[in-house]
Structure 1
Amino acid sequence: MTDTDETPAGVRADDTRGDGLDARLVVDRGSFRLDVALTAAPGDVVALLGPNGAGKTTALRALAGLVPLTGGRLRLDGTPLERTPPEARPVGVVFQDYLLFPHLSALDNVAFGPRCQGAGKAEARARAAAWLDRMGLADHADAKPRRLSGGQAQRVALARALATRPRLLLLDEPLAALDARTRLEVRAQLRRHLAEFEAVAVLVTHDPLDAMVLADRLVVVEHGRVVQEGAPSDIARHPRTDYIAQLVGLNLYRGRAEGHTVRLESGPAVATTEDLSGPAFVAFPPGAVTLHRDRPTGSSARNLWRCEVAGLETHGDQIRADLTGELALAADLTTVAAAELGLHPGVEVWAAVKAAQTHAYPA
């Protein structure tokens, strides 16, 4: 089998026995210090999530060799890469704005990487044509980037990165430049291509849906440190910081559990169905909150707090109320319900949550 007739899969069949990624990325930049450990096996897709300034992009650039490490280690398939220049690393990168060469056709953009690796022109173009066909872009091989849609440009950039047969694929906000409709389609396509990729992929995103759909494992970074990592479903169900709770749409509190009650560090107690003892988190979705203008009587809800509306905003097809008072929380309700309650900033309400709709877990 030759390089030109093999099925593109990101790597050669005889290169798939690697150990994957083993890194501790330490980067000091002025007063900011990044110290993030990352491990992944071949075939894994890891998403780095975090607020702006958390260090996600710095970590990605350190993996690519564009930012030097000031400490730690970086090994790929057992090979140290700390001193390896970017162009010599078996790493493919898809940047947020794709960075396609405007004067080259889609075919020559994809062929650029193999050419830099020493492939002849015919071989590089054949490999590029195979990748464009795999991406459903065979009919656009001669098109310059300005003639491509956002989704097409994203696929060309991905094909260009994969055509070098990387052992590590880095994607920096790969869907951020797309409109909502295109994003949905391209996300599904990207998921399929990542599922077929036989080496390690690391994705940086601020969009929780992108991370949940595309990644096998999430690593959440805040202030240059990993604050939580695990499967998307585990992180969505057990957030451990306010940022993660907001990301997955939960009200989150920390306190001390005593049986079926979690006494919050600052605020009232919350009744739960879980029986715990010791430091604990308790969470519930905004949709679990019901609001009343008067204190409800005969309600089965074991959690009831007097609050004040601090703000209202449209949230999808609902209204999200930001509440302060005995307990600061977010509540979701329909537009009709908000109108019937006469909600506006400054209005006092009672917020009720059933114990069965809360979720408590050890801190």
Structure 2
Amino acid sequence: MTGTAGGARATAGPSVGAGEETAGGPGETGAAEGGLDARLVAERGTFRLDVALRAAPGEVVALLGPNGSGKTTALRALAGLLPLTGGHLRLDGEDLERRPPESRPVGVVFQDYLLFPHLTAVDNVAFGPRCRGTAKARARAEARAWLDRMGLADHAGKKPRGLSGGQAQRVALARALATRPRLLLLDEPLAALDARTRLDVRARLRHHLAGFEAVAVLVTHEPLDAMVLADRVVVVEDGRVVQEGSPADVARRPRTDYVARLVGLNLYRGEARGHTVRVDGGPVIATADDLTGPAFVAFPPGAVTLHGDRPTGSGARDARRCAVAGLESHGDLVRVDLTGELPLVSDLTTVAAAELDLRPGATVWAVVDAARARAYRA
């Protein structure tokens, strides 16, 4: 997923998308031997979490959602740091609720790493195996091997204050993996890094997760992290699952305003009839797909062209009068937020924006390219 666009106007879809949205999701992994099978029901004050998660060994699942959606609550429940008030938590067929957190085969990489400041990198990594009864010499040897795999062999003797953010993150990952967990939990693992470091560490993390044979659950609000690192994305809003599927499925067919903004699409919900969708309480949008019944329709901002005067010719019939609500730079383009009968977001070149003399409050005519408007079942 890339980009963040306003202008998505759909209501939330079902807690799990239609069958076409769930390929590779719980229906498949639930039947596999081993792996994670959980329904996490937990309450914190007035907030209630109710999230079902299933993942096969070797699968990386990303929990994606806005702040306050319940992602971290779900991670804490998986780690045993927050008791469940309902549901179940099974890993490789074993009920984890009966085991205290410290004895569970779970590794956690926290957002701020939580490395022991008084221990060197090698002793931080060796800490887990030592707690599980491994002799000191062997634990340190294994820790050095892990640091070598992370490209940190030359930093084994450094304490956390002598490490960069990216190096500290890799030490934290090595420490989690050194216990050979059957469930690896990553809590916003790249959030504390600057943009350049994040790019490098994300690539390294992808490499290590590709070779991880157990289940990994990544909690993030960054769509790019989810798209690059995960095999499957589970979108959580207000404590429940609103969409899940492969990264491509979620990016191509968003089902909520939040997801649409993340992937940079205009999104509406309505009733499809042939190659048109009548938006709930609004106008009709021509689409490339032939569909009947409740539907979503989505298209990128680049599919919306703007005109200073009402166009003539083939685009005139579908032209919509709009007012410019705001403008912002979006890479090498200008993103225009439009209000009107059909609120829209459009991307223009800087030259086109200048020629139209766009400014807040200006009136323009918008035309949506029907060939790029895709309809799918709600």
Q: Which residue of 2 aligns with 1:103?
A: 118
Unmatched tracts of structure 2, length 5 or more: 1-31
Q: Which residue of 2 aligns with 1:7?
A: none
Q: Which residue of 2 aligns with 1:311?
A: 326
Q: Which of 345, 349, 361 is the matching residue for 1:330?
A: 345
Distance 2:236 2:155 in 1: 38
The answer to whether 1:47 aligns with 2:62 is yes
Q: For 1:178, give the aligned amino acid.
A: L
Secondary structure (helix, strand or coil) at the match of 1:82 reads helix
Q: For 2:125, give the aligned amino acid.
A: V
How does 1:106-185 map onto structure 2 within 5 Å?
106-185=121-200
Q: Which residue of 1 aligns with 2:356?
A: 341
Distance 2:303 2:201 in 1: 33
- Asked whether the equivalents of residues 46 and 215 of structure 1 are also in contact (C-alpha less than 8 Å), the reply is yes
The answer to whether 1:241 aligns with 2:227 is no
The answer to whether 1:355 aligns with 2:360 is no
The answer to whether 1:275 aligns with 2:290 is yes
Q: Which stretch shifts more, 144-153 or 167-176?
A: 144-153
The answer to whether 1:215 aligns with 2:193 is no
Q: Which of 277, 290, 297 is the matching residue for 2:305?
A: 290
- Asked whether the equivalents of residues 310 and 316 of structure 2 are also in contact (C-alpha less than 8 Å), the reply is no
Offset of 1:300 from its aligned partner? 4.2
User: 1:165-203 CA distances to partner (integer Å, 9 max, x unpaired)?
Assistant: 000000000011111111111111100000000000000
Distance 2:100 2:316 in 1: 61
Task: Give the TM-score normalised by the residue count of structure 1.
Answer: 0.94
Q: Which residue of 1 aligns with 2:245?
A: 230
Offset of 1:357 from its aligned partner? 1.0
The answer to whether 1:258 aligns with 2:273 is yes
Q: Which of 68, 72, 77 is the matching residue for 2:83?
A: 68
Q: For 1:353, give the aligned amino acid.
A: V
Question: RMSD of aligned C-alpha atoms?
Answer: 1.2
Q: Which has the higher contact order (CA 8 A, sep 6+)?
A: 2
- Asked whether the equivalents of residues 262 and 270 of structure 1 are also in contact (C-alpha less than 8 Å), the reply is yes
Secondary structure (helix, strand or coil) at the match of 2:207 reads helix
- Asked whether the equivalents of residues 186 and 217 of structure 2 are also in contact (C-alpha less than 8 Å), the reply is yes
Distance 1:237 1:31 in 2: 34
Q: Which residue of 2 aligns with 1:197?
A: 212
Distance 2:315 2:344 in 1: 20
Secondary structure (helix, strand or coil) at the match of 2:98 reads coil
Q: Which stretch shifts more, 346-355 or 293-302?
A: 293-302
Q: Which of 88, 97, 102 is the matching residue for 1:87?
A: 102
User: 1:248-294 CA distances to partner (integer Å, 9 max, x unpaired)?
Assistant: 11000000011111001022100012111110100000111111111
Distance 1:151 1:297 in 2: 56
Distance 1:333 1:146 in 2: 46
Distance 1:85 1:329 in 2: 51
Q: For 1:362, give the aligned amino acid.
A: R
Offset of 1:84 from its aligned partner? 1.6
Q: For 2:312, give the aligned amino acid.
A: T
Distance 2:52 2:316 in 1: 43
User: 1:276-319 CA distances to partner (integer Å, 9 max, x unpaired)?
Assistant: 11101000001111111111112447632110011111222221
- Asked whether the equivalents of residues 41 and 51 of structure 2 are also in contact (C-alpha less than 8 Å), the reply is yes
Offset of 1:145 from its aligned partner? 0.9
Offset of 1:151 from its aligned partner? 1.0
Distance 1:300 1:98 in 2: 55
Offset of 1:102 from its aligned partner? 1.1
- Asked whether the equivalents of residues 301 and 354 of structure 1 are also in contact (C-alpha less than 8 Å), the reply is no
Offset of 1:83 from its aligned partner? 2.8
Secondary structure (helix, strand or coil) at the match of 2:198 reads helix
Q: For 1:126, give the aligned amino acid.
A: A
- Asked whether the equivalents of residues 301 and 355 of structure 1 are also in contact (C-alpha less than 8 Å), the reply is no
Distance 1:309 1:299 in 2: 24
Q: Which residue of 2 aligns with 1:25?
A: 40
- Asked whether the equivalents of residues 315 and 367 of structure 2 are also in contact (C-alpha less than 8 Å), the reply is no
The answer to whether 1:56 aligns with 2:71 is yes
Task: Give the TM-score normalised by the residue count of structure 2.
Answer: 0.90
How many residues are aligned here?
Answer: 347
